[in-house]
Amino acid sequence: MRPPSHRFHGRNYRRGRGARPGQVSLAHNGVLFLDELPEFSRAVLETLRQPIETGEVVVARANAHIRYPCRFLLVAAANPCRCGYLSDPRHACSRAPVCGADYLGKISGPLLDRFDMRIELSAVPLADLDIRTPSEPSAPVAERVSAARKVQARRYSGSKEIKTNSDLYGSFLDEVATPDPEGRDLLLRAADKFGFTARGYHWALRSARTIADLAGSEQVRSPHIAEAVGYRLLLVNGG
């Protein structure tokens, strides 16, 4: 069996008029999950950058020019290093921390910048597997998400281009996602300290708008900005 990178690349870029939609187009209006992200070839990963931005895959050849739709939610997972034990004190690694930098360094900065949320998960100790910890049931969470989606549907009902907060840009983003003065000051300080790109800055606003919607707040405020920025910090500067 060919490795995933070959399947991914070959199916999306068959030459000529026989070109067929590949994995990114098959994920249109759905989720594209890439497990062990650094194990994909860098050339393949870099081809994702433009489709993420435009929602289209364009295959241009001498005898054909084909466009496939590919608006998808990109989700990826990766170990901290090739062996997976970089942050585990029970396993010694002779190459730490270089092994982690080399492994995650396969993901380019521009591609990483397109991941809106970066969440680090620690291994659960075996002794904790049997411990029942209180948690919120899924039903109330689903209700909040549904309510937030309805808010956005009403907000953008007059727009043909914008359906959800993820579609916001330019003046539309300023109109509905401008935070209160305290929140704006917090975002500017965070963007300067952590070196946010323009894409990262605008994403923080869109994310904060969604967090505010989930909280039932009409105004984007500093707690919403703080939570959005927190999702953006992991791996911003390689740490």
CATH number at residue 84: 3.40.50.300
Regarding whether 179 and 82 lie in a shared domain, the answer is no
- 81 DSSP assignment: S
Judgement on whether residues 192 and 111 belong to the same structural domain of the protein? no
In terms of domains, do 16 and 96 share one? yes
Whether 189 maps to a domain, the answer reads yes
Among residues 87, 88, 64, 4, which one has the least CA distance to residue 39? Answer: 4
Clarify whether residues 198 and 166 are in a common domain. Answer: yes
149 within some domain: yes
pLDDT band with cut points at 50, 70 and 90 for residue 239: very low
Residue 70 near residue 56 (C-beta atoms within 8 A): yes
What is the pLDDT at residue 138?
94
Q: Is pLDDT above 90 for 215?
A: yes
Radius of gyration of the chain, Cα coordinates, nearest whole angstrom: 20
Least confident of 28-37, 113-122, 155-164: 113-122
Let me know if residue 33 belongs to a domain.
yes
Q: Which domain holds residue 56?
A: 9-115
Classify residue 120: in a domain, yes or no: no
Rounded CA separation 92/88 (Å): 8
- In 3D space, the residue among 223, 222, 187, 183 whose CA is nearest the CA of residue 203 turns out to be 187
Assess if residue 31 is contained within a domain: yes
- Same domain for 97 and 155, yes or no, is no
Q: Are residues 212 and 168 in the same domain?
A: yes
Q: Which two tokens stand for residue 125?
A: 């100790």
The number of beta carbons lying within 10 Å of the beta carbon of residue 41 is: 16
Task: Supply the pLDDT for residue 125.
Answer: 77
80 located within any domain: yes
Domains identified in the chain, total number: 2
Say whether both 177 and 218 belong to one domain: yes
Query: What one-character DSSP code corresponds to residue 65?
Result: E
pTM, whole model, 2 decimals? 0.79
Q: How many CA atoms are closer than 13 Å to the CA of 232, on its beta-carbon side? A: 28
98 and 47 in a common domain: yes
| Residue 72: per-residue pLDDT | 92
Q: Are residues 93 and 54 in the same domain?
A: yes
Q: Per the domain annotation, does 229 fall within a domain?
A: yes
Residue at 122 is within a domain? no
